[in-house]
């Protein structure tokens, strides 16, 4: 089948942390976007030219896209030249990939797919998922697999820099066949300034999982060092700084664990595929997932020296300066401290207004009213906090905000 030279309309399924910035970026480059989001409140918010997530400059770009008529949100898909699937792929309780949103998205667009259309799966997925998407669409549309193009193009962006990185980053694209790879590459060339790296769908799928597993393993090493240093009464931050003076050593920073939809999730997809082979990846996940309990245990022991202490947890997001709480170890730590009933526990999180399970305070009152302060996330606002606020407090600098950790 001949690859189309022009693509003008795009149907984006999922208007979250990836789908909405991608839609806004595409609209800014002349594409007409039919956005699909099941949450009616999100649909109304976007169509009002507003955003439901925090990302630098995203509100301005969305407003411009809506006012120009190039972006409109809906609850149902429609016909388009290109379909982009940007739905969540969470973990089940059994640590396996929940691909139900992907299958539902594929089924929902099947009746709209026409000959020559391009279907792109950007959702992080285990190998063979893209091939299954193609099979679902073929079966439910009545088309042949050769009548349309299907490819995987994993997103590789950093929250806080999404609008820049969705355009500037190199992109891996892998089709279920050569013509699909070519079609996907041509589409991304229209708005991506980074290199377009072509491969197969399975390799593209695994590449994203490997990238995040590599980072997870490295963070696990740093987190394991922090536990070791605590046992040996050594400053882990000094140790890492000294070790990193070696020209071929670059140890990452320890923290409360690993969060976010990617790093805390993707390695399990590999473990699911090869449980007896992916031993290092599995162990790294166990190390990082155990870190919150290790921290809670030490805080509880310190809290026992007080009579119902105030405990302030600074930060709930999974990384600095974003509002993303997905898989956040800081949330897990704070909830577990609340459940321990060792004192009054609250959180300070400047990027959200409220939380269903955790009471929130502003930074100054949150710190001043506490006996114990946990620095869990390195938000800029916390870095600018006057150090005298922490005098006479028990401080657990989990994220190395002041490079001075107390975990005895």
Query: What is the spatial distance between Cα 18 and Cα 20, in angstroms, rounded to a whole number?
Result: 6
Contact status, residue 236 vs residue 254, Cβ threshold 8 Å: yes
Contact status, residue 54 vs residue 17, Cβ threshold 8 Å: no
User: Is 208 one of the catalytic residues?
Assistant: yes
Query: What is the spatial distance between Cα 393 and Cα 306, in angstroms, rounded to a whole number?
Result: 12
Dihedral angle at the C-alpha atoms of 249, 255, 257, 259, nearest 10 degrees? -90
If you count them, how many residues does the chain have? 408
First to last CA, the chain: 66
The contacts of residue 390 (CB under 8 Å, 6+ apart) are 367, 373
Q: Which of 11, 208, 291, 313 is catalytic?
A: 208
Q: How many CB atoms lie within 10 A of CB 47?
A: 14
The contacts of residue 340 (CB under 8 Å, 6+ apart) are 296, 300, 303
Q: Which of 11, 86, 229, 262 is catalytic?
A: 262
- How does DSSP classify residue 4? P
Beta bridge pairs of residue 396: 374
Q: Which residue, among 257, 220, 271, 259, has the nearest Cα to 96 in the 3D structure?
A: 271
HEC letters along 354-406: CCCCCCECCHHHHHHCCCEEEECCCCHHHHCCCHHHHCCCEEEECCCCCCCCC
User: Is 11 one of the catalytic residues?
Assistant: no
The catalytic residues are 208, 262
């Amino acid at each position: 089948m001949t690859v189309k030279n022009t693509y003008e309309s795009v149907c984006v399924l999922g208007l979250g942390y990836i789908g909405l910035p991608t839609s806004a970026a595409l609209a800014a480059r002349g594409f007409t976007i039919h956005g699909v989001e099941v949450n009616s409140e999100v649909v109304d918010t976007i169509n009002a030219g507003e955003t439901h997530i925090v990302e630098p400059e995203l509100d301005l770009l969305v407003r411009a896209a809506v006012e120009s008529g190039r972006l409109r949100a809906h609850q149902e898909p429609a016909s388009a030249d290109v379909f982009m699937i940007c739905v969540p792929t969470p973990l089940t309780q059994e640590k396996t990939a929940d691909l139900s949103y992907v299958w539902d998205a594929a089924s929902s667009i099947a009746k709209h797919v026409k000959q020559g259309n391009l279907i792109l799966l950007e959702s992080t997925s285990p190998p063979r998922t893209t091939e299954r998407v193609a099979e679902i669409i073929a079966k439910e549309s009545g088309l042949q697999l050769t009548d349309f193009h299907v490819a995987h193009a994993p997103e590789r962006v950093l929250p806080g820099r999404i609008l820049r990185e969705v355009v500037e980053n190199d992109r891996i694209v892998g089709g279920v066949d050569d013509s699909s790879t070519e079609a996907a590459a041509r589409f991304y060339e229209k708005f991506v300034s980074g290199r377009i790296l072509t491969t197969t769908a399975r390799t593209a799928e695994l590449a994203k999982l490997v990238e995040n597993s590599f980072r997870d393993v490295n963070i696990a090493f740093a987190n394991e060092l922090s536990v070791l240093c605590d046992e040996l009464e050594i400053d882990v931050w000094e140790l890492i700084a000294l070790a990193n003076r070696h020209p071929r050593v670059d140890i990452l920073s320890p923290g409360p664990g690993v969060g976010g939809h990617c790093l805390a999730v993707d390695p399990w997809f590999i473990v699911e595929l090869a449980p007896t082979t992916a031993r290092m990846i599995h162990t790294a996940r166990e190390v990082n997932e155990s870190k919150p309990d290790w921290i809670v245990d030490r805080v509880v022991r310190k809290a026992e020296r007080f009579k119902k202490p105030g405990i302030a947890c600074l930060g709930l997001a999974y990384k600095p300066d974003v509002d993303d709480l997905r898989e956040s170890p800081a949330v897990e730590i704070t909830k577990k401290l609340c459940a321990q009933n060792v004192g009054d526990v609250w959180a300070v999180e400047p990027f959200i207004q409220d939380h269903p399970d955790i009471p929130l305070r502003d930074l100054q009152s949150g710190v001043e009213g506490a006996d114990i302060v946990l620095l869990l996330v390195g938000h800029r606002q916390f870095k600018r906090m006057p150090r005298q606020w922490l005098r006479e407090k028990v401080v657990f600098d989990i994220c190395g905000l002041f490079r001075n950790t107390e975990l005895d």
